[in-house]
Amino acid sequence: MSVLVGKKAPVFNSKAVVNGSEIVENFSLEQFVGDKYVVFFFYPADFTFVCPTELIAFQDKASEFASRNTVLIGASTDSEFSHWKWLQTPQKEGGIKGVTYPLVVDQTHAISKAYDVLAGWDEYDEDGNESFVGEPKAYRGLFLIDKQGIVRHQVVNDMPLGRNVDEVLRMIDSLQFTEEYGEVCPANWKKGDKALVATQEGIANYLSSIV
């Protein structure tokens, strides 16, 4: 798996469904560079089982992401029409109606490949013919991208394993704290906790304060 932390987030331009109903042709993360933090996450497929629980859980905390100057963006290998239909389907019927953040289309698998979350690989026979091996869906990859367009955190879960939205918020808080104060965040740090200065003295002072 590629480690993208510390690197520019891969650039793409794709169709997406925004505001829960509007299909747009040219959606890109570049529009947020210099202005917003981005949580860009992949999920396997529309109209599945774990996926709606995640997408709705992110929507339920949308105001908390907004308060941190962070935009949510989902992506899967489904079409824009599948995204649109799922967004129009009531939650009690397995849909995600009420989700308003963008859902990106990755039918070509190019975005999933760029972020190295595609479940499968390309294989070539002796004549050079390409075929795909595996399931052409994305693992549950999540990437926290800063305002300069740099990936600062990534995590990839296998398809059956749902993510913890509160942990994503904690990572945003950690990143923004370190950017503002220059201190570092120890294990299990959460907003409001004591951080530490990255020196031997700072570590010693921190450890003595929690004993």
Reading the block at residue 107, the tokens are 């039918």
CB 7 within 8 A of CB 151: yes
Tokens 């908390």 identify what position? 64
Q: Residue 122 — φ and ψ, nearest 5°?
A: -85, 140
User: Which string of DSSP letters, residue by residue, matches the chain?
Assistant: ----TTSBPPP--EEEEETTTEEEEEE-GGGGTTT-EEEEEE-S-SS-SHHHHHHHHHHHTHHHHHHTTEEEEEEESS-HHHHHHHHHS-GGGT--TT--S-EEE-TTSHHHHHTT-EEEEEEE-TT--EEEEEEEEE-EEEEEE-TTSBEEEEEEE-TT----HHHHHHHHHHHHHHHHH--B--TT--TTS--B-SSHHHHHHHHHHH-
Catalytic residue among 39, 51, 104, 138: 51
| Length of the chain, in residues | 211
Active site residue 185: no
User: Could you list the active site residues?
Assistant: 51
